[in-house]
Amino acid sequence: MIIQISQKQVGQRLSELRRMKGLSQEILAKSISMSRSSLAQIELGNRGLNITELYELSIILGFSLDDFMSESFVTAQPEATGLQTNAPQPEERISVPVLEVNKLRNILLYMLEQCAGKPNVGETVLYKLLYFSDFNYYELYEEHLTGSIYRKLPYGPVPQKLDAVIRQMIEAGQLQRVKTEYHGYPQTRYLPLEKADLTQLKASEKDVIDKVVEQMSDWSAAALSQYSHKDMPWLATKDGAEINYELAFYREAPFSVRNYGAETEEP
């Protein structure tokens, strides 16, 4: 078979057909013994698929391989398959983050308890520690940590609404803002005035945060910003645009925290 379309077009067509079938990514992935994250990568056009996988998908989604791989293919309502039932189907997880303000407050306090005393940890470093915690957690567990939205701005990924949350924490006596200098440059620092409520964090969340702080909290703001600029979510996003959490699945070493090569597919 001669493939006449791009990998991205393959992903788009599969996504459209799956949605027309009313199937979640989780259900479709399980039906071909594939992980949901692998299917997500395929649909976004960042992972190829072999002929066996494509053949299995053609049976489930009801398309002809020759038609599907042609440039003139148009998605039409496919015939029903045995996968569709009247039973309620699990909802497909939508990757649109929803900010959890209370959790973000406690994560800020927890991070600052560990590294606020380091002279390099100013506002820029704190932003990057939050970014890597959020995206590492999403890559590992396919769930949002704080639900913060990040945009691609000149100095790196910046969490939206964080200024408002910090202002509320200062007013509530949870944080203190300190203006200082570091190596001759102005620096904004935050000091925690109370302990984080660790009952608000799962063990898996705390573990991801601990690893990010241990790995990166000694880095300078410049080094951490440059490092974040080489991360796939940043590279694949247009200037000023929101960074899609799904892009965490396309990371490569040294950024990836999940070993996709050794990933065990669900039966």
Distance separating alpha carbons of residues 207 and 94, to the nearest angstrom: 24
pLDDT digits over 81-105, tens only? 444 444 444 444 445 788 999 999 9
- pLDDT-derived band at 4 (thresholds 50, 70, 90) equals low
pLDDT digits over 219-253, tens only? 999 999 999 999 999 998 989 999 999 889 888 88
Model pLDDT, residue 24: 82
- Write the CB contacts of 66 (distance below 8 Å, at least 6 apart in sequence): 1
- pLDDT-derived band at 264 (thresholds 50, 70, 90) equals very low
- pLDDT-derived band at 76 (thresholds 50, 70, 90) equals low
Averaged pLDDT of the chain = 85
Q: Are 72 and 25 in contact (CB under 8 A)?
A: no
Question: Which tops the pLDDT comparison, 47 or 259?
Answer: 47
Among the listed residues 167, 142, 150, 145, the one whose alpha carbon sits nearest the alpha carbon of residue 228: 150
pLDDT digits over 17-62, tens only? 988 888 888 888 888 888 888 888 898 888 888 888 888 888 888 8
Domains in the chain with CATH codes: 7-68 (1.10.260.40), 101-250 (1.10.10)
Distance separating alpha carbons of residues 25 and 45, to the nearest angstrom: 15
pLDDT digits over 109-151, tens only? 999 999 999 999 999 999 999 999 999 999 999 899 999 999 9
Among the residues of the chain, which ranges form H helices? 7-21, 25-31, 36-43, 51-61, 65-68, 101-115, 123-141, 162-171, 203-216, 221-228, 232-235
